[in-house]
Each structure stands twice: as structure tokens, then as C-alpha cells.
Chain A
Amino acid sequence: MLPFSDEEHIMNNTAKTLPFIVGVGSSAGGIEALRSMFSATQAPIDMAFVIVQHLDPDYNSLLAQLLDRYTNLTVLQCEGGETLLPEHVYIIPPGHGLLIAQGRLELTDFVQPRGVRRPIDDFFRSLAIDQRNNAACVVLSGTGADGTIGAQTIKEYGGLCIAQTPDTARYDSMPLSAISTGHMDFIYPPSDIIPGLQKYLKQLKTTSLPANITFIHEKMDEICHELRNVVGHDFSGYKHSTLLRRIARRMHIVGIESEQKYLELIKNSPEESQALFKDFLINVTKFFRDPDAFKQLHEKVIKPLVHQALPNDELRIWVPACSSGEEAYSIAILFAETIRLSGLNHRISVQIFASDIDENIINIGREGTYPLASLIDIPEHLKKRYTTPIGDKFKITPFIRNMVRFSNHNLLRDPPFSKIDLISCRNVLIYFNDTLQKAVAPILHFAAKPGRFLFLGPSDSMGRFEGYFSTIDLQARIFMRSPESKNYPLSLPNTDNFPIRIEKNINKSAHIMNNNENNIYHRVLDKYSLPTAVINKENEIISAFGKIGRYFHFPVSNVDGTNIFTLSGPDLRAVLGKIIRETRFKKRKIIARKITIHTEFVIHTVDIVCDPLDSETLLIVFIEAAATTPRLDDDFDEFENNHDHIEQLENELRHARHSLRMATEELETANEELKSSNEEMMSMNEELQSTNEELSTVNDELKIKIGQLSISNNDLRNFLDSTNLSVIVIDKKTCIRNFTKSVTHLFPLKNTDKGRPLADVYSPFDINSYYLDAINVAQGGSIVQKRITTRDQLRVYALRILPYHSDIATISGATLVFTDITDALSLERQLSAERDRLNLAIKAAHIGIWSYCPSLSQTTIDIGNGTSISPQATSAHSGALVFPADQDLLKEKLDLALKGIEKFDCSFRTIVPNGETRWIRGYGHLITQQTPVTLIGVSIDVTPEHILVETRELMVQEMNHRIKNLFAIIGSMITIAAQRHDNVPLFAKSMRERIVALGTAHAATPTTHNHDKPRLEQLISAILMPYKDLAHVSISGPHILIHQDALSSLALIFHEWSTNAVKYGALDSDAKGVLTVTWCIQNDTLHMEWTEEKKRQRSFETQKGFGRILEDISIRQLNATSETTIDNLLFRKTLTLPKRCYTHE
């Protein structure tokens, strides 16, 4: 029964932060069940799961990985010390047991050998104790019975128990075993387990227990009343706190929130009543519970009882509320062992009455078969002797079994057993309230013999027992009945009987109701009936009524003490032997009439009736046929002679029987030995089975793993095929382990080459270029990256040699990756050549390349003439200053460009550090694809172009001026000349010629080549051009350039001179003259000589009129001097020009 536990604290004890904890036990075939259990899981779940599986201790379990794939929950392999979190699944690691303490998981080392371990039970037990009603257990597929005991403990502490539906389990013995206890709250297929748990948990949370309790409390009496009607037991005297909790638990399980509804359910559903009844009686007991107390019991009670017992004494022991009988058997074993070791050679019979009110639980006791897990509790030295293993269970030996009588008996209601030597009533009183406890004390006092013993549980209170029992050992809770007789209120409080609806109890109730009749029968049988004996097939008297003793005599020896033949005198023995044999043979009633029985003092004459009760037992009734006569001495010999022969036969028979018994005993010994070998075989089988289980688990895991592996392999192969990478994998000894298809273009490898040394394989490379590096890397060196060239120098490959990691830490080879980079290299070279060319062009063109990043306000110049632009006035790099007038324009253009409105195109001036002004034209393009947005552009120095334009403008202006000046001169010339001329045609002709001369002079002025100074020689020959055929003209002198200012005047002078020469001088068409024009530079002045020579005599006339005036004015204008000399045939004019009029080349 329940150990001491202050149930008031159960709720408080449960750490509020911990999730609801579900222990899951599985074994063979468990993976399948676990997968379907967890695959449907939907978060959020306020539950943590702990999976305990039977695992091979030497095999690294993949369960966590396998399960992780099927569930949203986090799956971890437990490492010990974890605090449980919701939505986590913790899995037991191989080679360890698992416990939970204060919400933390603990790994334990196995103490028991393989095959006897019960990790699921161990964990469930610790879970129950640690988490109480905040826990549930699930028993899934598996062989054996692990989990059964644990589940009972869970239930006992208020937790929930679920078993997998056996027909869905691959191996159903674990769930079947659990279900057989009758403690399972739910039986579900795996996929329904978690939804079921969630429903339960929801119920548990929505109706928090303390709130509910008061309501249930009000209904408690009603519920007890209903229950009494249905199952016949009144629980109203039980401690309410316990009952409340169990009712609340049932309500959670059936999903009813209102106690009123639950009450109705109980009224209407006998099944629920039964379930509640069972829950009320949750009783977990075990062998030798509280070993120390048992030790004391052994020393202080059992040993004295055994040793004080007289021959044929019967020791009577009563175990009320025996539950499944473990306690009764424990006591039985102790008695048997004590008697065995006492060395007493007389027989002491021990009768143990084990009683309980739950018929189902009593049946478990009657079976005497328990899960192997319970075996641990039996001390080692008793185990072998008193138990027999059967598969995954063990059985109490028949010897012990026969010592215990189980009966359905209510301690409070039924008449107590009496004359009891030891009452063991452990952990029963704690369930009873004060009133009941008071009631129980006199009952136990009544039952016990004076001076005999009471053995209570550690938490049973003795307060109400004062005066009835005195203490022997308080620690072990052993008490002695006070010797004085008490006056009890023997009208026991609960002796009134209730009608019971359950059918199977009807027989019993009839028996109980006729309690008083029973006494009457006994009295009649004992006092007034014919002497009758009942014998079994061994001919032992198992019961006797009436004054049967008068026909038998009692031998001193204890051998076959109850055998009817041993007890019979010779004459009775002969008759009985015959009549019993015949009755057994014929199976009919037989009567032997007028049999005389000689006893010590009298002679009886009786009819003996032998009536077969059933196939084994016979009823033997003695009926007085005649009056008893006193025995006479002389009769002695007579009878002795008569029976001598029979006596001899009987002796022989006994002898034969004796040897038969010896043989039987030997046979039994042999049998025992066989049994023990069988036992060993069983345990081996056990181990094999557990190994098999582990293997099947491993097999399942491997199967899944192999599936994954083949997928990975396919992935890898496809990857390698698709990459076209040339890869060779070598091992530590540089033997080829693997290679890709594309590497066969380089190395002529075939599949059969795997395992050959790399050095043996021909390659287009020099072996030294890769082999040593490969060895180095394979033996732990670092990554090698290099270029290698084929022997013919045609192709270049990039070679990467990487370490091959079989594990993270260990290097077990190397991977060689070859990449053909010949084309890439040639491309790279081309690119570099292109880049060089571009750079050259940019440099030659003085193009500046710049990038401007407005967000960073950063200007970068790449190459060029070092001129960059920047919105800031100065360029930090070149020091050039943007011309102040152009700064605004530049900024505006940049802004537009940065906004993407138009491309940057701007001309502006900069002042370079040496003070020069340079014209710059910049073009830019906004790069928006990159961040930050950058403006990239070029700038070109356009200063020469600008100078050209400026010059041209100047020249145009100059030309304009000159022309206007020319017009002004012509205008003045006309005005002045008009005053001198009367002859208009002559005036017009001469003016026209002068204008032509001015035009000619002007035409001689070159307008290009950056100088506008005509050559003197050109000017003269142009003016003389119309006359060149009239005379021999020679023009010579150094190269002189005439200044623009002097040009018109000089032209007019030469014109006047030539017209004069035409009229009067050498250029006259008749003159056949020679005109020589020379000049030279002397003392920074230009001396020019105009010499006319005529063949014929002719006067040279100096010109007159306007021409003369014009000549004079022109000479004055030039600041020049002129002289004229005339000599017969020679006419010479000299002209001296100052420096400002010419330039000497």
C-alpha cells in the first residue's frame, strides 16, 4: 500500500515551472511506435517526453536522429543533468539507466547484469516519486514486462498511465503485461497517445484541483453512498483528502468538470464505479517493504514464535488489506526460512490468512506470479529457494503458496479472524479517518491472541491503539497485544451488510449473511453428528467432525501424522484399506458393516461408510452398529494371530512405500537439478531475448540509416558527375581511394585502379609537381595550392590538395583537385595587355579619370593629367582651384548628374598651382548599380582649343578694324584727292588703281599660321605684278616681315612709285628698262633702294599732284625718310624704315 506520503503537499511539491512529464517506455518494435506517436505532434505542447528504450550498451544509438526527422519537437539524447523543457524529447543514452530527481535527469550505471535490468521501471518509479501527479507514463511495444511495475507506481502517485493497444504493437507483451495490472487509464494506438495526453492535460489545467476539491467535498458523501450501493464498500470513513484527489483524477480522465455530472455518471455507470473503486484502492506493495522493519520482525516476532511453538502447533498469521499478496508471501518466506534453519524436527504448521476487499487484486496474489522486476526486493539468499522464474515472471514456490490462504474479507465489516499470532496490518490505517481507526483497534485486539503481535507500517499511527497494544519496537512498528481482556463494543460499526449489485459477489454475500448459521452448523457437526473424517488422495485426514478420536490412536512419531492408516489400529486399518481402495476404484458409496475395532480399553462395533466426495476426497463416516463392549485381556492374542499375515504384508507395503518415497525424493532432487538448469537456461534465454531486442532496435536503425546513406551516396555521385571537377581522393598511404570521371582525361584511371598507389599512375604532369605535396597533405600537412604545367608545356592546371577529413580531427588522406586554367591564363594575359594599352592611350591623351562619391564626399583620381573635379573649390589631389566664376556652374551640373537628370558634361576653368589657367572639360556617368552611388568620369584638358578660339575671335576683331581703317583711309583719300582733280575719269582711274594696290597689299597678308605679317618681297612683287612683263624686274633682299601698321602706307608708297615708273621710268612699255629693288638692314633700320634703268634716253619725272601728297603723307606716317637721285639713265629712290615697321626674320 501507499508509503507514507503527505498527500496534502503533492500539489505544492510539483515545481510549477516544469512541464508535464511523460515517460515513454519501449523496446523491440518501439521505433515504429515512437515514430507514429510523435509524427502527429503539433506544437505547442506543454509536455516534455523522456524515452527509455532497451539499447545495446556498446552501440551508438541513432534513435535521436531518426526520431528528430519525424517530429517538430526538439529531440535530444540525454547527457545527464538536463532540466526538462517543454516540447523536448529526451532519449536515454546507451549503456546507462535514467532517473529523474527534482526535475533533472540523471544517468545511472547499471548494477544488474544484462537481461535483468529494468530501466523503464526504474525511470517510471523515479518519475512517479519526483513528479507525482505531474507525470504520465506510456508503455509501448516490446517484449517482457518492463514498465509494468513502474506504471503501477505512477498510478499510485496520481499520474496517468497509458498503454499501446496490443494489436498495434509489433511486440505486444510489454503493453499486455501493463494492461493486465488493471491500472492503465487509457489504451490507445500510438498516434492517439499524444492527443489523449493533451486532452487530459487540458482538463487538468482548466480544473485546477484545489478549486475543485471543495465542491467534490460536498458531494463526497453522496459519491461514497453511490459507490457503496454499487460495489458494496463504504469509503466514507476513509481519509477524504486521499479520496478527493482520486475522484478528481478520475474526473480528469473521463473529462468531466462538474462533480454533479460525475455523480450522475457513477450512478449510471457501474464501469465507472468500478474504476473509481479501483482507483480508491490503488495499492502498490512490494516484497519485504521496509527491510529493516522486516529484520526486526524476524528477530523479535518470527524467531520467538517458531522456537516457542510446540509440535503440531499451528501459527496463525493474518494480513488484512493484503493487496496483491507480496507482504503475505514475505512473511510466509520468513517463517519457512526460520523453520528450515531452526533445526527443530517437529512439525509446525503456519497458516497465513491474507485478506483484501478487491477480488481482482486478491487473484493476483492467488496466482503467486509476479514480474521479474519485483524479484530484486527479495533478499538474495531467499530468492533461489522460494521462487521459480517463468519467462519474464517468477512464481512463488508451491510450498510457500500453500502457506497462504487468500480471502475476500473486509477488515471493517466482516468478522475478524481469531486466535492470531501475528497481525500484519501495514499502511492501511493511514487511509482511515479517526473514527475508522478507533473502530479498527478493538478488532485487531480481538483477533490477536494475548501476548501476540501486531506489525504496522511506518506511517500508521498507533494513537488509537493505546490500551490495546503495547510497544515492542517503535521503529519497526511492532506491538504486542495487551494480555488483559477488553470489553469491546463487539457490535462492530460496519458489520451491517449492504446489498451488492455486482453479481460475482453474490455467492460471497450469501455466505456472509449466513454467518450465524455457519456457527450452528459447526456446533451441530462438532457435537451431534456421526464421527466423520474427510481424507484426501494421500489418505490424509483433512478434516474431521464428531467424536472421531475414539476410533483412532495417536502414534508418538510424527511421521505421516495425518495419514488415516497411521492413526488406525490394525483391525480398522485392514478394513479401511480395503474399503477405501474399493471406493476409489468403483467411485461409489460403500458400506462395511459390523466392523469391530479394538482400542486400548473397549471394543467398538461400527458400520463404516465410505462416500466419494469428488475424485480425490472421500468421506468416511462411522456409525455405531452395536454397543461398545469392554476389552478383555485374553482377546489380545487371538486378534494378533489372526492378523499376523496381514501385519506382515502391511509392513512389506510400508517398506515398499518407504523405498518408493526414497526413489521419489531422489527423483525430486533430480527434478530440482533440472529445474535449476532450466532456471539457468531461462536466464540465458532472457539475456538472449534482450540481446535480440537490442539487435532488432539496432537493425531498425541501421535499415533507416542505410536508406539515408544510399540517398547521400546518390547525391554525392550526382554532384561529382555534374561538377565536372577533376578530383582524385587518396588515402594516407597515397593509394587511390576514389576519383571522378573527368579526371580520367588526365590520369588514365579505371575502377580497378582504386587502391593502386598514386605514384604508379601515369599522368601528363611531372610526378614531382604533385606527388610530394600529396603525401605531405595526406599525412597532415596544410592545404596546397599551386599551378602545374603539363610536360609538353601546353596546358596549365591549378592544383588544390586538401586534407581528407574522415572525422573532424583526423586526416585520413587527401583530395587532389585539378582545374584547367590555360584559357583563363591566356585571357588574363590578354586583359592585362588591353589594360596596358588603355593606360597608354589615357596617358597620351592626358585624360583624367575620376570618380566622385557624393555620400562620402570623396574624389578619386585614377590616372591621367592629375586634374580632377570636385564640388569643393579645391582639389585635394592636384591642388587645382576651380575658377571662381565656374564653381556654381560646376556644382549645378554635378547636382543634375547625381540626380540622374542628365549626364555630366561641363567645361570649366581651373587654376593650376603654377598660376596657369587651364580649360577642362569633364564627362561623367552615374553608376547607380553600386552603393554608394558614384559618379565616374573623365576630364580632358581643352586649353589649346580654347586658346585657338580666343585667337580667332581676336583676329576677326582685328580684321574688322583693319577693314574699317582701310575704308576710312580710302574715304579720306577720295575726299582729299577730289580737291585736286578736275578730270573725273582720270581721278576715278587713279583712285581705282590705288584701291587695287591697297587690296593687293591686304591680300598679301596671310591670315593663318599665327602671324599676319606679309613679307616685303611678296608685297613688292604683288604690287609690281601688273607690270612684270614691261621690264626686267628683280627683287632681292633678306627676309623681312612688314608690320601690319606699316602695310597700307608702304603699299601706297610702292604704288605711287610704280605708277610713276610706268608713266616715266623703267616700266614704260617703250623703255625696255630694268627695275631693281634691293634692301638691307643697317643700324637697325631698313634701307631700301628702288633703281630704275632705261635703255633709251628719257627724262625721269618725279610725280606731282595728289600722288606726291599721298607718297609724302605715307612716308611721314611710317616715320621713314626717302631720297630721290636722278642720273641720266638711272633713277634711284631710297627709303629708310624705322625698326617699328618691320621684323627681320
Chain B
Amino acid sequence: MNKYVFLVEDELLISLEIEMLLSELNIKSHGPFSSCQAALAALANIDAHSIDCAILDVKLTDGEALPLARVFHKHGIPIIFSSGHANNHHLETYYPPGKYIAKPFDPTVMKNTIALSVDKL
């Protein structure tokens, strides 16, 4: 059974890299979505149970990704926050079992974190 990751990242280059990592892990992805708006719209058409993990860039083109985080948290989907801001560490405690990865990230760390989060289910 294929694992799905819901990817929200406004920087296309970075989402490209993550997609590469995902394909290495043999995980499929929804996205990438560069805005909160687009992500929410897409989410409406996806069965939440199919999503094993969400990777959220905190700052998106249309604001912060917190509304998205709430939705995922509601459905019990683990969230990996990735952000360039130094002060967003608290997010992983707000939405357990969330993880926080500071940008620029180590691809290995990202890869392991995704693998761990997906395996948890």
C-alpha cells in the first residue's frame, strides 16, 4: 500500500528536492501546494485517511499555514513543520506528534523524519 505525504511548500525548488527524497522513500505525495488556499481546496477532494504525513512550510504566499495544521491535527495526521524562522519550534509541541525542521534542512534528517512519521501509522 502506497504511503501519501501532503506537501505544502511555496518554494518550488525546495518542494522538488523533497519530492526527490519522497520518491527515494517510495512515498507518493499530494502537492506541492504553494498557498494555504490551494492546499485547503485540494484537501477537500482527498480522503484524509489516505494521508500519512503532512509537510508544511510555515510561511506561505498567502500567510501562515496554521489553518492547515489544525485540519491535519484534527485528523491525527503527523505534521512536519519546516521553516526558516527561528522562533517556530513551539509548533511541534502545539500539534503533537509534530516535528520541526529548520530551513535550510539536512536532506538526511528530512528523509529520516518523513520515514519515521509515515511509519508511525
Verify A968–B11 contact, CB threshold 8 A.
yes
Nearest Cβ on chain B to A1066's Cβ, whole angstroms: 28
A973 within 8 Å of B (CB atoms)? yes
Q: State the Cβ distance, A824 to closest chain B Cβ, in Å.
A: 68
Smallest CB–CB gap between B41 and chain A, Å?
Answer: 16
For A971, the chain B residues whose CB sits under 8 A away are 14, 17, 104-105, 107
| Residues of chain A within 8 A of B20, CB atoms compared | 975-976, 979
**Given A965-B103, A1117-B12, CB of A972 within 8 Å of CB of B17:** yes
Interchain residue pairs with CB less than 8 A apart (18): A957-B85, A960-B86, A964-B103, A965-B84, A967-B103, A967-B104, A968-B11, A968-B105, A969-B14, A971-B14, A971-B104, A972-B11, A975-B17, A975-B107, A976-B16, A1045-B61, A1113-B16, A1114-B12
- Cβ-neighbour of B11 out of A960, A965, A975, A976 (below 8 A): A965
A1110 CA to B14 CA, complexed, in Å: 11
Contact residues in B for A1113 (Cβ distance below 8 Å): 12-13, 16
> Does B85 contact A961, Cβ atoms closer than 8 Å?
yes
Considering the chains assembled together, what is the distance between the CA atoms of A1045 and B59 in angstroms? 12
CA A968 – CA B16 in complex, angstroms?
Answer: 12
State the majority secondary structure of interface residues on A. Answer: helix
CA distance A969 to B14 in the complex (A): 6
Identify 12 new A-B residue pairs, CB closer than 8 A, beyond the known A969-B14, A972-B16: A957-B85, A961-B85, A964-B84, A965-B84, A967-B103, A968-B14, A968-B104, A971-B14, A975-B17, A1045-B61, A1113-B12, A1117-B13
C-alpha gap A224/B44 in the complex (Å): 152
Tell me, in angstroms, the Cα distance from A869 to B14 when the chains sit together.
54
A1117 to B13, CA, bound (A): 9
Q: Is the CB of B13 within 8 A of A969?
A: yes
Interface positions, chain A 1109-1125, Cβ under 8 Å from B, are 1110, 1113-1114, 1116-1117
- Residues in A whose Cβ lies below 8 Å from that of B107: 971, 975
Q: How far is the CA of A1113 from the CA of B104 in the complex (A)?
A: 19
Question: Chain A CB within 10 Å — which of B11, B34, B61, B86 has the most?
Answer: B11
Kindly list chain B residues whose C-beta atoms are within 8 Å of the C-beta of A961: 59, 84-85
Q: Which B residues touch A973, using CB under 8 A?
A: 13
- Please, which residue of chain B has its CB at the minimum distance from the CB of A963? B84
In the complex, what residues of B have CB within 8 A of residue A967's CB? 103-104
**In whole angstroms, what is the CA distance A978 to B8 when docked?**
24
In this complex, what residue of A is CB-closest to B15? Answer: A972
Q: Which of B12, B20, B102 has the most A CB atoms < 10 Å from its CB? A: B12
By a CB distance below 8 angstroms, the chain A residues around B14 are 968-969, 971-972
Chain A residues contacting B103 (CB-CB under 8 Å) are 964-965, 967-968
Contacts of B104 in A (CB 8 A): 964, 967-968, 970-971
Q: How far does the Cβ of A95 sit from chain B's closest Cβ, in whole Å? A: 111
Q: How far does the alpha carbon of A957 sit from the alpha carbon of B61 in the complex, in Å?
A: 17
Given contacts A975-B17, A975-B20, A976-B20, contact A968 B12 (CB under 8 A): no
List A residues at the B interface (Cβ < 8 Å).
957, 960-961, 964-965, 967-973, 975-976, 979, 1045, 1110, 1113-1114, 1116-1117
Interface string of B25-68 (1 = CB under 8 A from A): 00000000010000000000000000000000001010000000
Q: A964-B84, A975-B107, A1045-B61 are in contact. Are A969 and B16 (CB under 8 A)?
A: no
Q: How many Å from the CB of A770 to the closest CB on chain B?
A: 85
- B111 to A: closest C-beta gap in Å: 11
Could you tell me the distance between the alpha carbons of A378 and B52 in the complex, rounded to whole angstroms? 156
CB distance from B15 to the nearest CB of A (A): 8
Per-position binary interface string of chain B over residues 81-114, scored 1 when its CB falls under 8 Å from any chain A CB and 0 otherwise:
0001110000000000000001111010000000
| B39 vs chain A, min Cβ distance (A) | 16
| Min distance, Cβ A964 to any Cβ of chain B, angstroms | 4
Give the shortest distance, in Å, between A1056 (CB) and chain B (any CB).
Answer: 13
Task: List, in ascending order, chain B residues with CB within 8 A of A975's CB.
Answer: 17, 20, 107
Question: Given the complex, which residues of B lie within 8 Å of A972, measured CB to CB?
Answer: 11, 13-14, 16-17
Inter-chain contacts of B85 with A (CB < 8 A) = 957, 961
Pair A1117/B17 contact, Cβ less than 8 Å: no
Give every chain B residue within 8 A of A976 (Cβ-Cβ).
13, 16-17, 20
Q: How far is the CA of A967 from the CA of B82 in the complex (A)?
A: 14
Residues of B within 8 A of A970 (CB): 104
Question: Which residues on B sit within 8 Å (CB–CB) of A1045?
Answer: 61
How far apart sit A976 and B12, CA to CA, in the bound complex (Å)? 12
A968 touches B84 (CB 8 A): yes
Min CB distance, B83 to chain A, in Å?
9
Chain B residues in 8 Å Cβ range of A969: 11, 13-14
Nearest-neighbor residue (CB-CB) of A1110 within chain B: B13
> Chain A nearest CB: distance from B19 CB in Å?
10
For residue B17, which residues in chain A have a CB less than 8 angstroms away from its CB?
971-972, 975-976
Distance A970 CA – B11 CA, assembled complex (angstroms): 11
Shortest A1111–chain B CB gap in Å is: 12
Q: A960-B86, A961-B85, A964-B84 are in contact. Are A1116 and B12 (CB under 8 A)?
A: yes
Instruction: Give chain B nearest CB distance to A1105 CB in angstroms.
Output: 15
* Bound Cα distance from A458 to B59, whole angstroms: 140
Closest B-chain residue to A1117, C-beta based?
Answer: B12
The 4 closest A-B pairs by CB, nearest first: A964-B84, A972-B17, A968-B104, A967-B104
Q: How far is the CA of A975 from the CA of B86 in the complex (A)?
A: 23
A965 / chain B contacts, CB cutoff of 8 Å: 11, 84, 103
A173 CA to B70 CA in the complex, in Å? Answer: 134
In angstroms, Cα B94 to Cα A330, docked, is 142
Closest to A971 in B: B104
Query: How distant is the Cα of A1114 from the Cα of B14 in the complex, in angstroms?
Result: 11
Q: How far is A1110 from B16 in the complex, measured between Cα atoms in Å? A: 10
Residue of A nearest to B107 (CB): A975
Query: What's the Cα separation between A969 and B57 when bound, in Å?
Result: 13
In angstroms, Cα B34 to Cα A1117, docked, is: 9
Residues in B neighbouring A1110, C-beta threshold 8 A: 13
A715 to B80, CA, bound (A): 105
A962 — nearest CB in chain B belongs to which residue?
Answer: B84
CB distance from A1106 to the nearest CB of B (A): 11
Interface centre among A957, A975, A1113 (most CB of B within 10 A): A975
Q: Smallest distance from the beta carbon of A1043 to chain B beta carbons, Å?
A: 11
Contacts of B84 in A (CB 8 A): 960-961, 964-965, 968
Instruction: Given A961-B84, A967-B103, A967-B104, check contact A1117 B11 (CB 8 Å).
Output: yes
For residue B22, give the distance in angstroms from its CB to the closest CB of chain A: 13
A979 to B102, CA, bound (A): 24
**A961–B103 Cα gap in the complex (Å)?**
9
> Chain B nearest CB: distance from A1126 CB in Å?
27
A968–B103 alpha-carbon span in the complex (Å): 6
Inter-chain CA distance A664–B24, complex, in Å, is: 189
Tell me, in angstroms, the Cα distance from A1117 to B9 when the chains sit together: 11
A721 to chain B, nearest CB (A): 86
Q: Which residues of A contact B16 (CB under 8 A)?
A: 972, 976, 1113
Cα of A1116 to Cα of B85 in the assembled complex, Å: 24
- Shortest beta-carbon distance from B118 to chain A in Å: 20
Smallest CB separation, A245 vs chain B (Å)? 118
Q: In the complex, what distance in Å separates the CA atom of A1116 from the CA atom of B59?
A: 18
When chains A and B are docked, how far (Å) is the Cα of A1102 from the Cα of B98? 44
Distance (whole angstroms) from the CB of B106 to the closest CB of chain A:
9
* Docked complex Cα distance between A1113 and B12 (Å): 6
Q: Which residues of A contact B61 (CB under 8 A)?
A: 1045
Residue of B nearest to A1114 (CB): B12
B107 CB to nearest A CB, Å: 6
Nearest-CB distance from B86 to chain A (Å)? 7
Q: Enumerate chain A residues within 8 angstroms of B13, measured Cβ to Cβ.
A: 969, 972-973, 976, 1110, 1113, 1117
The distance in angstroms between the C-alpha atoms of A957 and B86, with both chains bound, is 9
Give, as a whole number of angstroms, the nearest-CB distance from B7 to chain A.
13
B93, chain A: closest CB distance, angstroms: 22
Q: Which residue of B lies closest to A970 (CB)?
A: B104
| Distance A921 CA – B91 CA, assembled complex (angstroms) | 37
Bound-complex Cα distance A1117 to B102 (A) = 21
A residues near B105, Cβ cutoff 8 Å? 968, 971
Q: How far is the CA of A489 from the CA of B104 in the complex (A)?
A: 165
Q: How far is the CB of B88 from chain A (nearest CB, A)?
A: 11
